[in-house]
Amino acid sequence: MTKFQKLFRYVWRIDAVLILIAAGAITFGVGAMVTSEFGARSARSRDAEAGVPVAADPKTSLSLGNTSQVPGTNVLRADLFLDRGGAGFSSGGYREIRNILFIEPGQKSAHWLLPDNDHQIVDNSDIGERTTVDPKRIIATAVLVKPTTGTPESSTGKLLLFDPSGRNIVQVADGVRQIHHASFGNGDLTILYERNRHFVMASFDSTSLTKRSEQEIEVPQLK
């Protein structure tokens, strides 16, 4: 056997060992990823089971988010999420807001904004004012509620306006595709939304949420 053949045999053996080590490392890494993925899912499942029950079916993916205080009030609010898990090893899941829970001090029972969880809230716009006492006081909130079928970008839904407690709820319009603007000024609430491929400007009394006016805005086409 020549020196070249011996050298080639040694190199081949070293390469074989390195390939075996690399294959083992890859196998270990994939196994760790799978274990971590299933472990995380199991933890999320246990957390959901340990939380406040929000549905009759304990196997549902509905869960309450963190509770926060509505600025300028003593009302607490929490979003109800539907978790949609992703496929494969990535965390490509997402969450849909299906409802909003209101908790008021002195009230023994909380209450929901919507009567069911069969719709998704795709837009949520708090309308507030700057004050000297609080950085911002929420006067009302506008939400766009759409069906769960279809894509949120192309489908239409109901535009709702409600007070901080979620008890005074006004349906602004149906067939709305998007909320473009919501603000407070000169004692009125103003909402600009899109319906039937047109802009609509509506104003409301900030106390009663009664509609004061509604005007469709014509957008000139460019030539």
pLDDT at 40: 47
| Spatial distance between the Cα atoms of 94 and 41, rounded to a whole number of angstroms | 14
Q: Give the residue extent of every domain in the chain.
A: 1-50, 51-217
Output 198-207 pairs: Cβ under 8 A, ≥24 positions apart.
200/173, 202/172, 202/173, 204/140, 204/161, 204/170, 204/172, 206/139, 206/140
pLDDT at 29: 58
**Residue 11: strand, helix, or coil:** helix
pTM for the predicted model, two decimal places? 0.72
Q: What is the mean pLDDT of each run of 10 residues along the chain (223 residues)?
A: 54 57 58 48 49 67 92 94 64 82 94 94 91 78 92 89 97 96 93 96 96 94 89
Instruction: Extract the runs of DSSP E, i.e. beta strands, from 111-210.
Output: 111-112, 119-129, 137-147, 157-162, 169-185, 188-195, 198-205
* Run of H or E including 89: none
